[in-house]
Structure 1
């Protein structure tokens, strides 16, 4: 036999059995019957290894279809034999200790849809969301008032579930809760002085000016059959064959709009105008394509949306509504932040397309779609649709926003149970931002309650010392922080969205704890995730692994996308106003000019010297109120060296009313050294000085043994570096995490 004969004969004899329902390891031969060599490659070695070892996806993650290829070779001849392998998700082997009560209210004459999921406690102490299979289906209808119950089981088990239903004559009254304060628009705030925040903003501005707009439009024009203008194709997650292509362009629109609002740069506005005009042409071209419905706009056709409705899993499709959200949000930002009217017109078409498409689907089908791992991820499109409703007054758009209600997240929050463990953090945080926006415009109280409970649980039980959350992109069990210190912690996107949620909740309930968290996360996570050279890179995971270094991604990942936006948002939460007051929450050097409210303030602060802040009241028709930061025990207020009589209430310092124009107020703070231990392994902790989480600079790949005596004053154990917010302990230099660039660092050390 020739080499070719041997190869072909052995290739034909490869038999692997039923590959459509694989749960166990495959026996992969390495030698053919006639002496050929057989090697194997797999398209996803997380679930199928080249040696045939099978790792089933966790329950709830869905089956995986994997390309397995045998290469048969002998001498100079070789051939490839492809196989499709479906690895089934693992069975639900959960041992349930408790199903949390399911108390529902129905309205006579209106349909009731039972929740798709509930919170449970397991025998090993976990809190988890679990899907329910209801006897007789999810839908109920009642004609009279009274009491009823529904029976079901936890999916994949025989564990019983009961829902108690109270039928009333009418729905609960709408909420009259209103925003108590409003954040100052970015256009009214300008960063000043040579601060790290201003430098980060300037670097990102310079980077945006170098971006090739036609490259950002490449996939859109290609999908619509338009000339790509000789532009290079996109890279990374936006390559022409990526199922997520288009998402970075949406972030780019938002970044341009934010940049223009924050800086007033005319070249940036011109780029935004060009992008919107060209996307308008793409939307118009799509309208003439077969199979495309009015208003559609994306970087691909409608096929992925069709497949989602057939429950096609990831990676065959990749979160089509997620990408659509980025595009829609970018257009809305273009209108709201930069005044681009065409952006609103295009966005309205997309919103109507979503309503028309989802309105044809049953509630049960929608719930199943949003429960699909990654494929059903939809970002915060509910937030954007609610905002679009506010801009257009089209009630269909608010209805469309509510089509995205996700029981697996929302219902445990209604039950007041922290069942976030096992949920993808950044998949679900934007959904909660959307819930709050739905509340703003629908006044349905449950949406506010969901957002409020979610925020408090994440902040109390799921954040690292610097404000980030999640390990491997996932939430874990409450207070499980010390056991999750590695290279895959704190996805930057998650903090981007937590800050958005925090700011909006603060407007309804302006308490200092929200701005304490906001400050901690902006200064120690967001500011820490941009490269210092200006290449436009962003950190995906902020590693907590001992001795690790930061990476700065330019490959169009999700965190690169939000990273395009982040560094124009420093001015978003510095100042808030109500009818009588202007609140200063962050001590970032800036000027506020709000002519509508008669407020003109200039604030100077030095990153290296957080102990001193000056505020010049150029003019203010409102009383100035200043947050007392958690990291300073005292705040002394003086004007021209003379103490100023102030009142402090609920963590806020109220300056005297009617300050004379030109009055300069000096705040003298007392930043302290403090420790932030992990709740589950308190011997592992972060060192902080004032508002800054400090990183120990060391290449050691183990936790540094710092022998900090927590019974003695910390100021006696650390040496403060002159003119820097840095400390030395046992020859170890601790510097603000935000100032670390390429150095090896430790966020946590051993006490």
Structure 2
């Protein structure tokens, strides 16, 4: 089957023992058949078709000097990350076509690839990209002119991350949709990149890799798989970021404070390279990373990070307070890493995390009726999420969101050379063409704890059907044609049924599920209700859902509605043994909790919600409430006084505020992010309704006059107060205020932590 060429090639290059390894089915071989995943796929299909390919292609045509057929999209697609959605769109078209057979998707895919090939031909050197002023930018890199930080490389917004999306999109266009032209464009692009970095030393390449670059190392490993040309595998290793890899090899946790989604794709690359080279230490590094993130940094629904960064494993309080909870892109990539490790290690335990995250984060991250993708999913009680819209929103989580709901069939089933494995209870059919086996799964899980599997064969044959015994399942029961089959497995394993099967054989799987409380990994007194693998939450209010469906503003992906005090959140008070007894079943996956109704989180939309509940003894409740009330009053008062603010050293807040700088670096110390410079740094603050009167600047070091100067809209700033690590400047009366901090004589400035435009 020509569209399976990529999967087959991957395993041919491995040792002969790898042929017995777990292997995925092609998306073409699996079809969804109802239930929430099928609905999500259908809604995503409408969103994909609502986007205009010519608008997505515009940045590439502009860069190649060709006339555009439609103006490019706005938002992130015309503010520095031009072209990144186009790469994601190729992947989404390819995978959704493979999953559904929809002909319009293939037509669009072929058209886009042909247009990209036209751009590549016009450029004449293998390059194709939508990065603004791309030719000038890449020439600077080629010459070794490198000034970069975590997201800005030569004052260009994550250009390597951007072009990685095109690498991945072209790969997927060939892998999933069999587009041979995409393979040729991909090879040309890969060869251009190798020439680009050829003059650079290893030290310079590692300097470039400080800036977010997605899974670029993985895509070069894929190029090796496609061509069997070792130069691509060598490049994959050369562009693997040692600052992350080396500590992981040494089993050191250096993740706290790092931008989370910058790291996860790199690790996917480490794992793929390990399978191709036999570098066991690289694979162990990937496993160590997965264990750290999945088990100690993830909340109940599988997501991780606060304000896009890894929080301390011992303190999730920032996550509970913030309106910027786990980012959907993180879970998109953690599922890709989980899938890779599951297939490589034959370890079913990876599926427990995969399933939890699939149901509770990925499925919940798309509006089930209107469509639209979620960027941040707060766990702050009584808060809500924002959904994208096709014409206004071009965030990274829109790009990964387009892909998320195209590939639900990727791990429902897997296989070895002869045996078939059922990994997830999802209504679907798998057609194993090679072995002439068709298996249909009928289930209403998670609303019903039963699944029925029907075997269809052209003639009787012997093989083993392996059914996953999930970690959360109780009293698993298996029946073959109505007769009980012994269950010799245990949770987080498989139950094998080995026999000579005939067409029409039916396997019934039954199990029990229970509701339990799962604490945050930091051991604090916050816990979520989980039923089987399903996280439960309660709608609390529909008030003040400002920005629920995003506009085209730079920060449209963030909620604009007010934060309600944590002291107003519902809490569980009393003896711990009574917490679970407080919930009463109502209906399928519906439970009453006092005046609240708990239901699957993926069903909760268009509302504020509560997922995590504080647990108290009666004695500690009043004391805790007083302390929290004081903390919340201070935080809410500061928020009310704030017109705009920048968290220095954090990727998205800096991008949102048009950061520019030279000779600047950023870091994380004492649980705080910071940025300093030996040249200059600048930010744009939005002064809505001209309400901001002062600019308050805080630093981790004393702010002394001799380090340099402050400019407000290019004029020397008036310093109103200087109190050690805090400085107050007078703001001017403009709607946009540009603050520029300039170093004197190349001296390093203090480590600036936060810039806040305030009313008083």
Contact kept, 8 Å, 2:487 with 2:495, in 1: the verdict is yes
Out of 21, 40, 45, the residue aligned to residue 200 of structure 1 is 40
**Partner SS state of residue 420, structure 1:** coil
- 2:473 matched residue in structure 1: 632
**Partner SS state of residue 602, structure 1:** strand
Alignment of structure 1 residues 595-634 onto 2, 5 Å: 595-607=433-445, 609-619=447-457, 621-634=462-475
Out of 111, 117, 121, the residue aligned to residue 274 of structure 1 is 111
Task: Report whether the alignment pairs 1:304 with 2:134.
Answer: no
Q: Any idea what the Cα deviations from partners look like across 1:474-508, whole Å, max 9, x if unmatched?
A: 11222433552222121100100000010010112
**Partner SS state of residue 290, structure 2:** helix
**Partner SS state of residue 617, structure 1:** strand
Task: Report whether the alignment pairs 1:189 with 2:25.
Answer: no
Structure 1 gap ranges (5+): 1-173, 288-292
- Give the drift of 1:721: 2.0
- Give the drift of 1:311: 2.5
Q: Distance in 2 between matches of 1:677 and 1:409?
A: 29
Q: Which runs of structure 1 show a deviation greater than 6 angstroms over 4 or more consecutive aligned residues?
A: 174-177
Task: Report whether the alignment pairs 1:448 with 2:277.
Answer: no
Q: Distance in 2 between matches of 1:251 and 1:598?
A: 34
Q: Distance in 2 between matches of 1:459 and 1:427?
A: 16
Q: Distance in 2 between matches of 1:708 and 1:213?
A: 57
Query: Judging changes above 3 Å, is the alpha-carbon distance between structure 1 residues 483 and 321 closer, same or farther for their aligned structure 2 residues?
Result: closer
Q: Any idea what the Cα deviations from partners look like across 1:658-682, whole Å, max 9, x if unmatched?
A: 2332122111110100111113243
- Give the drift of 1:701: 4.6
Contact kept, 8 Å, 1:471 with 1:484, in 2: the verdict is yes
Task: Report whether the alignment pairs 1:750 with 2:614.
Answer: yes
Q: Distance in 2 between matches of 1:705 and 1:400?
A: 53
Q: Distance in 2 between matches of 1:526 and 1:177?
A: 34
Q: Any idea what the Cα deviations from partners look like across 1:501-540, whole Å, max 9, x if unmatched?
A: 10010112122320000000000000000012344x2110
Q: Distance in 2 between matches of 1:611 and 1:471?
A: 34
Task: Report whether the alignment pairs 1:585 with 2:585.
Answer: no
- 1:507 matched residue in structure 2: 343
Alignment of structure 1 residues 679-690 onto 2, 5 Å: 679-690=521-532
Q: Distance in 2 between matches of 1:621 and 1:354?
A: 49
Query: Judging changes above 3 Å, is the alpha-carbon distance between structure 1 residues 479 and 592 closer, same or farther for their aligned structure 2 residues?
Result: farther
- 1:247 matched residue in structure 2: 84
Contact kept, 8 Å, 1:628 with 1:651, in 2: the verdict is yes
Supply the RMSD in Å over aligned alpha carbons: 2.0
Contact kept, 8 Å, 1:305 with 1:320, in 2: the verdict is no
Structure 2 gap ranges (5+): 1-13, 542-563, 616-760
| TM-score in terms of structure 2 length | 0.71
Q: Distance in 2 between matches of 1:640 and 1:395?
A: 52
Out of 366, 370, 382, the residue aligned to residue 209 of structure 2 is 370
Q: Distance in 2 between matches of 1:549 and 1:607?
A: 26
Out of 60, 68, 74, the residue aligned to residue 228 of structure 1 is 68
Alignment of structure 1 residues 135-146 onto 2, 5 Å: none
Which protein is richer in helix relative to its size? Answer: 2
Contact kept, 8 Å, 1:645 with 1:656, in 2: the verdict is no
Query: Judging changes above 3 Å, is the alpha-carbon distance between structure 1 residues 480 and 572 closer, same or farther for their aligned structure 2 residues?
Result: farther
Out of 498, 501, 516, the residue aligned to residue 674 of structure 1 is 516
Q: Any idea what the Cα deviations from partners look like across 1:671-721, whole Å, max 9, x if unmatched?
A: 10011111324321000112210112213653311337532583x432112
- Give the drift of 1:203: 0.9
- 2:403 matched residue in structure 1: 565
- 2:357 matched residue in structure 1: 521
- Give the drift of 1:436: 1.1
Out of 370, 384, 389, the residue aligned to residue 549 of structure 1 is 384
Q: Distance in 2 between matches of 1:265 and 1:479?
A: 47
**Partner SS state of residue 522, structure 2:** coil
- Give the drift of 1:727: 1.2
- 1:696 matched residue in structure 2: 538
Q: Any idea what the Cα deviations from partners look like across 1:257-292, whole Å, max 9, x if unmatched?
A: 0101111111111110111111111111112xxxxx
- 1:736 matched residue in structure 2: 600
**Partner SS state of residue 260, structure 1:** helix
Q: Distance in 1 between matches of 2:578 and 2:449?
A: 23
- Give the drift of 1:297: 3.8
Q: Distance in 1 between matches of 2:229 and 2:611?
A: 48
- Give the drift of 1:640: 4.7
Q: Distance in 2 between matches of 1:630 and 1:277?
A: 47
Q: Any idea what the Cα deviations from partners look like across 1:75-101, whole Å, max 9, x if unmatched?
A: xxxxxxxxxxxxxxxxxxxxxxxxxxx
Larger Rg computed on CA atoms: 1
**Partner SS state of residue 464, structure 1:** coil
| TM-score in terms of structure 1 length | 0.72
